[in-house]
Structure 1
Amino acid sequence: MQLKIGELASRTGLTIRTLHHYDKIGLLKPSARSEAGYRLYDSADIKRLHRIQALRRLDLSLAEVADVINGENADLQSVIEQQISSLQQQIAQSVELHDRLQELAILLKSKQEPNLEYWLSTLEMMSLIGKYFSSDEITHMRELEQEQHGKLDVTMRPLIGAARALLDNKVPPSDARAMAMSRQWIATMGRLMPDARLLNKFSQMHRNEPSLQSLSGVDDEMMDYITLSSIEVRYEIYRKYLSEEELQYFRASFFKNANAWTQVFSDLRQKMAQGLPPEHPDSQAILVRWRALFTEAWGHHLPTIIKVRAIHEKEPELGMGGGLTTALLRYAREGLVVLDQNNHQPKNTTTRKK
């Protein structure tokens, strides 16, 4: 039995153009030609085409199909595993799309007269969040938002306006009005998003996404201003106990390393939650970063270091916004003792006798 290309296309549901392409790339060449030059396909060709169609249903590329059919570099186990992985990604994307549409529908219902601008802004915000947060983290943030009854935007909008007014009027970060605003900003964000790890990610997303800054009205200048002002709040507290000489590194170091400190607190708190002791290697690795940041802020002057430790016992406000709790501080200090002991252990200088 031999079929012309039109007959084969009709029986298989493919287009003649597709069969021409298969011929061109060598995936399916007709076994014969008629006297008039028409392509003729025999039973072996038809069998090969059915196999091609079956493999294409696994979403293999044409090159992968050719490898499998021709037995060239065809690791079937690997092919199947790759397709399973691809399918899992598609399922995850479908679930994410479902959740995004469902959330969007709820948000739109909450607006009496949703307009196109609101719809697009909400969709863009959700798309950006999906780039930075895992599905579990997004679920957790949704739960936090529901607990706050959708207050994040409503509560922060007046604070954003206040910060913008201070910036426009060139009020320095050390001004009492700026420090009062930063205190309120940090306290509000901490209340609305108590997970400092997620808050730090959210801040990083804001830094990296100009479109998000445009949507929220919180740009790099404002974030820097709030950071500087919060440093001034801490500076005022430290100045009650420390000299200007002891504080000489503080401002520059804490502005440079604000996000690094928050990340260290977040990473260490995660180890605590996992039940790891402070002397565990994973915790110790984080405490190495802690020690480096601390030294950069305060130098190597031991009396100053001792004073700073005592100040933190008296002034809990120093931990505002960064996630530094009393429990975390205690955990870190226990781990730092171990770190120092390990660093000061004498090296083994015993040599092996030959």
Structure 2
Amino acid sequence: MISKEDLFYKIGSLEQELIELGAFLHANPELGNEEFQAVDRITTILQNNGFLVEKGLASLETAFRATYTVGTGGPVIGLLCEYDALQDLGHGCGHNLQSPSVLGAAIALSQLEDLPACTIEVLGTPAEETTSGKIPMAQQGYFDHLDIALMMHGGDRTTVDGRSLAVDNFEFVFEGKASHAAVAPEKGISALDGVLMTFNGMEYLREHVRSDVRIHGIITDGGIAANIVPERAAAKFSIRAINRPYLDTVVERALNVARGAALATGTKVHINPIKSLESKLNVQALNDLLLNNAELVKAKNITPPREQTGSTDFSIVTHRVPGACIRVAFVPQGTPNHTKEWVKASNSKEGNEAIMTAAKTMGATCIDVLSSPELLKEIKAQFSAEKEVQNNLVLQ
């Protein structure tokens, strides 16, 4: 039987290298699709530990796959990591913790002498905060062959992901006609009026949708000067809901708001889709394994899944294969992410402890799956059942 104690010992022997990797990523934050230093450092460590590395997956320069195979056949375990930072903030979402923890689990597993036939794949997925590298990677089938997929994320508590919100992101670009705002305002058509009326319409829409719906936006272009009627203005909106069928109805109403604003103001509107993500598909057996192993390694502040949640591109993976994410506490409960508090904590004693806790939790979960073919069958059966429910979901 595979020993979790041996796994934990091997992860412990990697501690210094893992913490140094996290600190390097923290000190060198890179935006989505520009994570060249991160990928070079991560893949070099994997190569030095016997993993076969492929870069440039799905035409993404900073996507990679690192593979370690034991024997022939056996389950394929995917360990996913992100490493992009936030504009003007740095690692305010703790992505510098993900790669070290995933590498700790993957490398330690590869060093176990009694590991059964299997394949361990570390999948580097860039640009989670922006364009979502998992989208083209999923479209080109890079997750479809996995038996399970695991991730970690920092958090204000240790828990698993429950539901997530499906989301559609759009840019609305309005075209008007420029004119002097004081001398000849009657000759102008304000593109900004179209944007502002869109915001007002979205406020009215909010009153007549379900409580799980989230509609939020920003103005990205409001004109160039106060005394010039804006001939161009633009806004970006995210529209979210718990399930895709209902979200689709809300999205169509939201798009009609923008179309109506253009009609009312005499402008033209161009609707540019940016990104579309599903709600997460959960497999309870896999979530339970992660939480049980988090308890085994004495993770801090273990709680049930969060009630309030956002959206994740990991949801795309969970609609293709059984997937789960362990969130590991490293900031005080209630501390919101995408903040300076998260930036500071992601390079601290607490952040380092989260790396080790997550590595042990994910590694131990892999051992459970590899040790029990029946357990893997149960995970897959739950996944198929949940997917059937989602596919037959109707408006409620």
Q: Same fold (TM over 0.5)?
A: no
TM-score (norm 2): 0.21
Say which structure is richer in helix.
Answer: 1
